[in-house]
Amino acid sequence: MSEEKVQQKVKALARKISKDFSGREVLLIGVLKGAFVFMADLARKMTTPVKMDFVRLASYGSKTQASGRIRFTKDLETPIRGKNVLIVEDIIDTGVTLHHLYRRLEARRPRSLKVVALLDKPGRRKVDFQADYVGFQIENHFVVGYGLDWAEKYRNLNGIYVLK
């Protein structure tokens, strides 16, 4: 996917999210490391007030397949009780990691809890999980660029590419 196509989609997502939250403050929670580029661009294009925080979960290591084990390596610094929270994710693959994060954050009793994902691979789903906002649905390919990596490489590419 070209940089231009990605930016057009991010702008459309920001417009939709801003309309849905209509002037209410939103706490964006970026899932590190992959979502940091998407989250930065999304936040700059949103017209509602935003605050930001991050979590870090590990499930891949240096492989191209998820390990199935989820480790939290960074938790939130901001309390979310009573707040409008939007989890910002780069890609939903099996859904296991995001489902785990969603349940963990839901237990903290935010006013609202929604998910935006730039990419979605519904064909790989292992748990029933749907994002509230999705940029692109993609086939079962391992992709890199725009924050997504393979063994910490390729995050800096402007577009999104299939790893061969």
Question: Which strand (E) or helix (H) includes residue 37?
Answer: helix 36-45
Strands of 84-92's sheet, edge to edge? 71-74, 50-58, 26-32, 84-92, 112-120, 133-137
Backbone angles phi, psi at 119, to 5 degrees: -125, 145
Please identify every residue annotated as catalytic.
93
Helix (H, G, I), strand (E, B) or coil at 46: coil
Question: Sign of torsion, CA 114 1 60 154?
Answer: negative
Contact 45, 11 (CB under 8 A): yes
Name the β-bridge partners of 152.
none
